[in-house]
Each structure stands twice: as C-alpha cells, then as structure tokens.
Amino acid sequence: MSTNRKTIELDATGMAPGRLATQIATFLMGKHKVKYTPHIDAGDKVVITNVDKIAFTGKKMEQKLYRHHSNHPGGLKEKQAKTLMAESPEELMKLTVAKMLPKNKLRDQRMIRLHFKKS
C-alpha cells in the first residue's frame, strides 16, 4: 500500500510541550486521516519551527525531571527540564513526542519523520 505523505509545519512558539506533542503524535500516526488503520504506518512528516520558544507553565522548568536508566546498579540519570531545554530543546521535544506514540514496532519509523527547522 503506497501512502501519500504530506509535510505539516507547526510553529511551537508559546505552546506547552505536552499539547504540542499530542498534535505531533496524531499527525505522525495518521489519525487525522479518514482511512486510519492502527497497524499501518500512514502518517505524515512533521516539521517543527521555533522549538526553543516552547513555554512551560508553572514551576515545571525546575520541578520536571527527565529520567534515563542504564540498567546497571546506580545507573539512574536525571536532568531538569531547564537544563535539557538549554542544551537541546529538540531532544526535549523528541522525548515528549516519543512518550505520546504507541509503544510498538512502528514508533521508530514514525519518529524518523519528525524534523526540526531553525528559524
């Protein structure tokens, strides 16, 4: 089955990361299309601009933690949203979108279609 993939551009200026991630996940999965089928990867390409201008609400910049474990004893690594945002806002957005997608074999293929454009 051939899929016609469109390129959807989203401006992240002033948007909350979670709200933006749900929109991106919907486009990557293809749920916005009439012929959506869960086991077929028919989503579109998504290009995000101004990802460095996303806005956290409240005290989330200081309180929100992104965790990663190496599966070795004492291998838990934590980063605050503030430091991750300063280092790489694209990585923060990728983590958020990946958590919104279904945890199956199609997630990696869908994440490849997520791009960021410097403005």
Show the domain range for 17: 7-56+89-117
- Torsion region of 14: left, alpha or beta (phi above 0 gives left; psi -120 to 50 gives alpha): left
Whole-number pLDDT of residue 1 = 54
Residue 96 domain-assigned?
Answer: yes
Q: Within a domain: residue 84?
A: no
Quick check: is 11 in a domain? Answer: yes
pTM, to two decimals: 0.90
- The candidate with the shortest Cα–Cα distance to 94, out of 110, 82, 79, is 110
Distance CA 55, CA 53 (A): 6
Whether residue 75 lies inside any domain: the answer is no
The answer to whether 98 and 68 have CB atoms below 8 angstroms apart is no
- Residue 49 maps to a domain: yes
What CATH number did the domain enclosing 36 receive?
3.90.1180.10
Phi, psi for 47 (deg, rounded to 5): -115, 125
User: What is the number of domains present in the chain?
Assistant: 1
Predicted local confidence at residue 115, as pLDDT: 97
pLDDT, averaged per 10 consecutive residues of the chain (119 residues), comes to 85 95 96 93 95 94 94 96 95 95 95 92
Q: Does 41 fall in a domain?
A: yes
